[in-house]
Amino acid sequence: MYSYALLEKNCHYLIQEKEGDPILLIKINFDTDYCVYVSKYLDTTVFEWRKKTDSIFDILELLDDKKMKEWEAVYNDSEDTFNYEEDDE
C-alpha cells in the first residue's frame, strides 16, 4: 500500500486507489503539512483535497512532460468531438 504523501507536487501519476478500481490520471497541485489538492482527470476534471495518509493501492506510473503533451492532445481532441452546437431549425 502507498499513500498520497509519496506523490510530488506538479507531477502526474497513473494510480489505482483501491484494488480493482479503474486506473486514474491525477496531478498533485498543492500540498500542506497534512493534505494534498488533487486533480483527477475523468470525463471532466475533478478537484479534491486528500489526506496525505489516504491509501493508494498502486502507483502505476509517473508521467513525464512528453507523455502528458501526448495525452493532452488526445484529451482535447476527444473533447472537441462532443463540443458541437445543434441547429435550431
> In which band, very low, low, confident or very high, does the pLDDT at 85 lie, cut at 50, 70 and 90?
low
> In which band, very low, low, confident or very high, does the pLDDT at 80 lie, cut at 50, 70 and 90?
low
State pLDDT tens for residues 25-52.
999 999 999 999 999 998 889 999 999 9
Rg (CA), the chain: 16
- Whole-number pLDDT of residue 35: 98
> Strand order of the sheet with strand 24-31?
45-51, 35-41, 24-31, 12-16, 58-63
- Whole-number pLDDT of residue 75: 78
First vs last Cα of the chain: how many Å apart?
56
How distant, in Å, are the alpha carbons of 18, 32, 84 from that of 74?
26, 32, 17
- Whole-number pLDDT of residue 1: 87
| Domain locations in the chain as residue ranges | 2-82
